[in-house]
Amino acid sequence: MSHVSLLLSLEEEQIVAEHVRDGYQLRIDAKTALHISYDLKSRGFEEEARRIFELAEPLDLLTSTQPIEGLPGVSQNEQDAPLAAWTKAASQFREVGQIIATIRQLGVALRKLSPGV
Q: Tens digit of pLDDT for each residue in 85-96?
A: 988 999 999 999
- How much is the pLDDT for 113? 46
Confidence category of residue 66, pLDDT binned at 50, 70, 90? low
Domains of the chain, by residue range, sit at: 3-58+73-113
Answer yes or no: is pLDDT of 13 > 80: no
Nearest to 26 by CA among 58, 60, 59, 52: 52
What residues contact 29, with CB distance under 8 A and at least 6 apart?
Answer: none
Summary mean pLDDT of the chain: 78
Please, which residues bridge with residue 25 across strands?
22
